[in-house]
Chain A
Amino acid sequence: MKFRLYRYSPESGEKPTMQDVELDIEPAGKMLLDALLAIKAQDETLSLRRSCREGVCGSDAVNVNGKNRLACITPLTELQEPIEVRPLPGLPVIRDLIVDMEPFYKQYRSIKPWLINDAPEPEVERLQSPDDRALLDGAYECILCACCTTSCPSFWWNPDTFVGPAGLLQAYRFIADSRDEATAARLDNLEDPYRLYRCRGIMNCVDACPKGLNPTAAIGRIKSLLVKRRV
């Protein structure tokens, strides 16, 4: 199979290049990550992140033929040759397919991704009704792979000020949680022309999400809550 890989080595002082690689691999039943690891076995200078190899850890997100995906759950048979693999767009490249995730994590941190509840701790756990629990479906499953945020032009342009789809989906996950008591403060934190309203609803995030989540819908619900609070 034919591959085109993005190669960048910062200490060489040279600009990034695309490297053509020919790999003898039977695509049936294999994922893109298998191919990348086979290429790395031939040429160990190829750098990439991976861990769980089953779409749970979210560390091997790359741009494949123009779309952000997890290499470990992308079947080789689905891809057109030459398979062009690049690092996630919109984040600084450290080496080859490895990007600096800090701008992404910084926005994630800014939404305080933890339960805020100052009430005295109950004897057992904080209980939720099944209905309250159901509100978290479609929000808690995010694995923070950054496929959505790095496919968002609003984030490309304003990475320092726009929270991005992943961060906003997580913000909604805690706003929707019946055990969280900081809803007003969370909405205050998001009500901002840049932090929330840079989202123009183009839904690249929905297209990119390897877990099939819908950040645009969550952003819509945050906006609805802000409107409800205002009118």
Chain B
Amino acid sequence: MKSTAGAHTGTGTWLVQRASAVVLALALPGLALYVLAAFPLDFNGWQALFAPLWLRVLMLLTAAALALHAWVGMRDIFMDYVRSTGLRLALLLAVIVVLAGSVVWLAATLWSPA
């Protein structure tokens, strides 16, 4: 049986995609400029570059926004191309693991003792 009623979801994910896109549009060029302005870089330069706490927080936030953005995009791709529920669920979980893992890994790297 096919239902034509709405699932009452989708607005949240759409908002997440829009909001994370705004964060990325602002943060990515800013971060790129910040790093490029410091070139040429040696090891001590890198260390100094990522020393400020605000920068590490900004990088982590940007990575989180990227992960959320990628999550909505991957979900849309799976919704279009993967019609089997089991396979789609498995792929969605795999994407969550990879994206969440990457963000946590970045946090660990940013706050690891030098």
Contacts and interface: CB of A to CB of B under 8 A. Distances in A.
A193 B4 CA distance: 12
A15 interface: no
Given A188-B5, A191-B7, A192-B8, A197 B80 contact: no
Interface residues of A, number: 19
A227 B11 contact: yes
Contact of B11 (A110, A157, A160, A230): A230
Interface in B58-112: 79-80
A189 B11 CA distance: 13
B15 A193 contact: no
B12 interface: yes
Given A194-B79, A223-B14, A160 B2 contact: yes
Given A110-B4, A227-B15, A158 B80 contact: yes
A116 to B, nearest CB: 15
Interface in A173-207: 188-197
A48 interface: no
B6 interface: yes
Contacts of A158: 80
A197 B10 CA distance: 7
B2 A193 contact: no
Interface in B1-25: 2, 4-15
A193 B15 CA distance: 12
A226 interface: yes
Interface string A193-229: 1111100000000000000000000000001001100
A160 B2 CA distance: 9
Contacts of A197: 10-11, 13-14
A195 B7 CA distance: 9
B79 A191 contact: no
Nearest to B12: A230
B5 A193 contact: no
Interface string A53-66: 00000000000000
B8 A193 contact: no
A229 to B, nearest CB: 8
Given A160-B2, A227-B15, A193 B7 contact: yes
A163 B5 CA distance: 11
Contacts of A160: 2
B6 A191 contact: yes
A76 B112 CA distance: 70
Contacts of B80: 157-158
A167 to B, nearest CB: 11
Interface pairs A-B: 9 shortest CB-CB: A192-B6, A110-B4, A193-B10, A197-B10, A192-B7, A191-B6, A226-B11, A189-B6, A191-B8
7 contacts: A191-B7, A191-B11, A193-B10, A196-B6, A197-B10, A197-B11, A227-B11
